[in-house]
Structure 1
């Protein structure tokens, strides 16, 4: 299966933010993964809108910047983001994404209900934990 960029894109008003966000939801109704995988495009100055996903509809969201520059607020923290940077918005966190650049912001957003997952049998998980330990100086989880 393949989906071409822009092939099923639509404009959407995210959480009362400014401007419309162009969204492509990859493999809606076709993937069996328990997450949504979307590409968002926000115009310069565009914002998602401050919101949270509480216990009534618990969602965790991962934002990965592909192109452009953004500011992401998650509760009391503010993160300046560029290509390759990512932020995790846990359940119940108040968060907002804003395009602070002069070009279109392109972000992959992966979201779903949180669940326990055991990745320990995968070599990339072990190697990633080792790399994190070397970087942070903490023991792997």
Structure 2
């Protein structure tokens, strides 16, 4: 049985500039097909626009408000919003106020699967 407490996970910065705490992923569990992390972006900040060749992502906004851009289409997002980011889609999230969200990736997130303009 694999159980990980969020508070026990050390934050780090991903290639796109967000700060994440891996909850369950390749670095801390025998994960094969998905990963789960808590991400945060400070007020006025944004991730670097990027895409993933293999990973499909879900973002689930826990706190804060911002703008989600996927393949040139932008929408406001806030607590309770779930966002689908298909593999291969360019995307960026910008925080109007500090954003905290869950990020699920399938297959699991890997730095090597993150591509920039």
Common topology (TM > 0.5): yes
TM-superposed CA distance for 1:31, in Å, is 4.9
Provide the residue aligned with 2:112 in structure 1.
Answer: none
**TM-score between both structures, scaled by the size of structure 1:** 0.66
Deviation at 1:9, TM superposition (A): 2.5
- Gap regions ≥5 residues in structure 1: 114-141
RMSD over aligned Cα, in angstroms?
Answer: 2.0
| Counterpart-to-counterpart distance in 1, 2:66 and 2:6 | 21
Structure 1 Cα separation of the partners of residues 81 and 20 of structure 2: 19
- Whose Rg is larger? 1
Question: Where does the alignment leave 5 or more consecutive residues of structure 2 unmatched?
Answer: 108-117
Q: Measure how far apart 1:52 and its partner are.
A: 1.0
- Asked if 1:107 corresponds to 2:104, the answer is no
Kept in 2, the 8 Å contact 1:9–1:22? The answer is no
Q: Does 1:51 align with 2:50?
A: yes
**Which one has more relative contact order, counting CA pairs under 8 Å at least 6 apart?**
2
The structure with more helix, counted as a fraction of residues: 1
Contact 2:66 2:95 in 1 (8 A): yes
Question: Residue 64 of structure 1 aligns with which residue?
Answer: 60
